[in-house]
Structure formats: structure tokens, C-alpha cells
Amino acid sequence: MTRAIPFPDRDDDALLALIRAVRETGYGFTTVTPATHARVNTRPANAEARALRDVFGWSRLFRPGLLPDGLVGLMEAAGALTREGDLLRAGIRLSSLDGELFAHSAYPPSAADAVFFGPDTVRFVGAVLEHLAGRARPVRRAIDIGCGSGAAGITVAKRASGAAVTLVDINPAALRAAGVNARLAGTDGVDLRRSDLLCGVDGDFDLIVSNPPFMVDAAGRAYRHGGGPLGAGLSLKVVEAAADRLAPGGSLVLFTGAAIVAGDDPFREAAGETCDRAGLDWTYREFDPDAYGEELDDPAYAAAERIALVVLTATRP
């Protein structure tokens, strides 16, 4: 079996041509969680692809001849095609969000530097859109920390005309994907930087958005492992970094997960203390009180009773 790469790095123009060709077919796909993906793909009838969505959405093996030769040629030119014996597989997935297609890693996202996109991406973008809709001040300088596919930052750039929008990630594969997705969405002006949190960028921001990894992941995958207590380490670092770099009137919108222990939320307590010390006004809500229940089987979560998805919004007065 050919090892799947996290994201093609051969020719961005060829990759753009491929995705545009797929888009012209009317393709659309809602990407599910890896757990759901595994369940659906293991059904006997789904062993091989029978349609375009099976190839670029469900990452199923397909036989030569299923797709037009021109499309397969574009996949080959873009480095987005792998061969497994007599069968082929797409080296990317394409997901629908906000009227766009976003390219990210093929299933399964098992590589340490996989570029993840899933239901949490949709929830995160929804939280950012909600903030933008209720925001009184214009966005002039924004940054998406740990941008992954770039979905949130691109969403901001589409709506904040003239704003300087920066997408940062420590993962080069994520920055490649974000760059391609920005071009696809017509937001070519976003600035792409490799950076650990805000270390690689200067100045203050009036909008910081982030959906950091928040799981305890034994494999240490960059898109999944949050580190620290119950996976909250990176989320807390984002709050700390933002507290130092928000301009007057600037806001942080953080979408993350929080492990609940004996009815208490240790992440909320720690993040709130950081916001209070920095003089920030903040709100916190549970978006979903019970997500990723299968993770509770991991001994690392022995003390947790549930994992909630939460939104923290912190604003400098």
C-alpha cells in the first residue's frame, strides 16, 4: 500500500485546476468525524467508489475508468493520486463550507502532520460568523492561529474587506492546504506564516480566532494533540498569547474542547483567570455538552465524565 502524504506538494496550479474541475461538476460533500467515516466505509457496499463523492469525499478506492481520463490526469499532475495494486485513491479530500470547497488530507488522517477538516471546523466557522455578525467595530487586522485548512481565516477575509488577515500554523502541510484554499476562495491576499502561536508575527490584532487541538492523543498528531492537563494545554497557551496581543476593542474567538471532571470545568477556570488578569471581558458557553464520548475509554480521561465543546470570547475594552 502506498503511504498517503498529508497534502500534495507538487504543483499548486495543477491542484487548483483539479479542484476547479471537480467543483464544476456540482460536487458537494459534508465531511463527518473519523469515527463515522470508518463506520460508513466498512459497509460491504462501500468497499469501492461508485461516484465522484466516494472518491473525493469518502476517500474510497476506485477503478480506472470510473472518472474521466482528464480528471485522473489532473490528479496525477497535482500529485493527488495514489495507487494500491490495480486500484486508485485520491490523495486529498474536498469538503463543502460557506459556499466553498476546502481541500484537506485524505482519510484516514493518521499522519502526524495531517491537515484536518471535520464537523468541528464547521462549528468553529459558525462561531466566528456569529461573532462577526454581532461585532460593532470593523476588522482591520485578524489572525487564525493553528489555521489548518484555513477555513476560519478565509471566512473572515471574505467578509472583512480590506482587512489584513494572517493564517499561521506550525505544520507546513497545513499552510500548503490553506494557501490553495485561499486561492480557491478568491482571498489570495491572506498572509501565510509558519509560526508557533504568535511567535512568528508582530503587532496586535483586533480579531484572533483559533480552534486548537484539544485531545489527549498518544500518537501526538499535530491536528489532534493538545497536551497539558486533559488536552487543554494548547488551548490555554492560545488564550495567554491572545491576552498579550489584542488591540483595544479586539477579540479572541476560541473554539475548543473541555474535559469536565466531577461537574467542574478546569479549562474554563484557568482560561477565565488568564482573561481576568489581562483585564479582558469574556464570555464562555458550552456549544455541545457531550462530544467525543468514545475518547473516555482512554485511560488519560479516567477522571473525566464528559468532553464538552466550548466557545470562549474575550475582548479588550
Looking at the structure, do residues 297 and 182 belong to the same domain, yes or no? yes
Looking at the structure, do residues 45 and 134 belong to the same domain, yes or no? no
The H or E element that residue 298 is part of is none
As given in the structure block, the three cell numbers for residue 283 are 464570555
In a domain, 113, yes or no: no
Helix ranges restricted to H, 44-169: 52-56, 69-78, 119-134, 151-159
Closest listed residue to residue 107, CA positions, set 120, 122, 91: 91
Report which residue type is found at 75: M
Torsion sign across C-alpha atoms 284, 255, 27, 186: positive
Looking at the structure, do residues 48 and 96 belong to the same domain, yes or no? yes
Looking at the structure, do residues 130 and 272 belong to the same domain, yes or no? yes
Domain total for the chain?
2
Does residue 99 have a pLDDT over 70? yes
Range of the domain at 75: 12-105
Looking at the structure, do residues 67 and 139 belong to the same domain, yes or no? no
Mean pLDDT, residues 92-115 taken together: 95
In a domain, 223, yes or no: yes
pLDDT in tens, 117-169: 999 999 999 999 999 999 999 999 999 999 999 999 999 999 998 999 999 99
Q: How far apart are CA 292 and CA 63, in angstroms?
A: 34
Looking at the structure, do residues 91 and 162 belong to the same domain, yes or no? no
In a domain, 259, yes or no: yes
pLDDT in tens, 56-78: 999 999 999 999 899 999 999 99
In a domain, 6, yes or no: no
Does residue 288 have a pLDDT over 90? yes
Helix ranges restricted to H, the chain: 12-24, 34-41, 52-56, 69-78, 119-134, 151-159, 172-185, 233-245, 266-277
pLDDT, the chain, mean = 95
Facing residues of 254 across strands? 210, 312
Looking at the structure, do residues 221 and 129 belong to the same domain, yes or no? yes
Q: How far apart are CA 221 and CA 110, in angstroms?
A: 8
Domain boundary among 105, 132, 151: 105
CA count, 13 A, side-chain hemisphere, 294: 5
In a domain, 114, yes or no: no
pTM of the entire predicted model: 0.95
pLDDT in tens, 198-256: 999 999 999 999 999 999 888 888 788 889 989 999 999 999 999 999 999 999 999 99
Q: How far apart are CA 92 and CA 110, in angstroms?
A: 13
Domain boundary among 77, 105, 133: 105
Q: How far apart are CA 155 and CA 141, in angstroms?
A: 14
Cell 486508485, residue located: 88
The percentage of residues in the chain with a pLDDT greater than 70, rounded to a whole number, is: 99
Looking at the structure, do residues 98 and 136 belong to the same domain, yes or no? no
